[in-house]
Amino acid sequence: MTNLQIKLPTDTWVSATGNEYLQTIENPIYTRAKSYYYQGKLRIEISPVSYDRAKDNSLIAIALGIFCSLKNIRSKSLTNCSYRKTGLQ
């Protein structure tokens, strides 16, 4: 596999193969980016998470965790995940 030398536009959908998507997200330039692949198109979003947003996100996660614990509701918290499974959409 060769490394893509072209810096892709961000915050827009771009036509790409699944291999091009995987190759792109392995590029160190996009280490902190969010990426999506759907129906032959990829999207890269580079948006830094500010202190205030990170603080709000943590507060909401903690509050929901406490609520679920008190109500005996099973829950799972995942933040900034990316899932890939070869051969599937």
56 is in which domain, residue-wise?
A: 49-77
Instruction: Decide: 44 and 35 in contact? Cβ < 8 Å.
Output: yes
With a cut of 90, say whether residue 72 has pLDDT above it: yes
Same domain, 24 and 40: yes
pLDDT at 17: 92
Residues 3 and 42 in one domain: yes
- pTM score, whole prediction: 0.49
For the segment 3-7, the average pLDDT, to the nearest whole number, is 57
| Adjacent-strand bridge partners of 41 | 15, 38
Number of domains in the chain: 2
**CA of 21: how far to CAs of 34, 43, 86, in Å?**
12, 9, 11
Clarify whether residues 2 and 30 are in a common domain: yes
Residue of 86 and 46 predicted with greater confidence:
46
Residue 89 lies in a domain: no
Q: Write the pLDDT tens digit of every residue in 10-61.
A: 778 989 998 999 998 888 888 778 888 989 999 988 766 677 777 888 899 8
Judge if 63 and 32 occupy the same domain. no
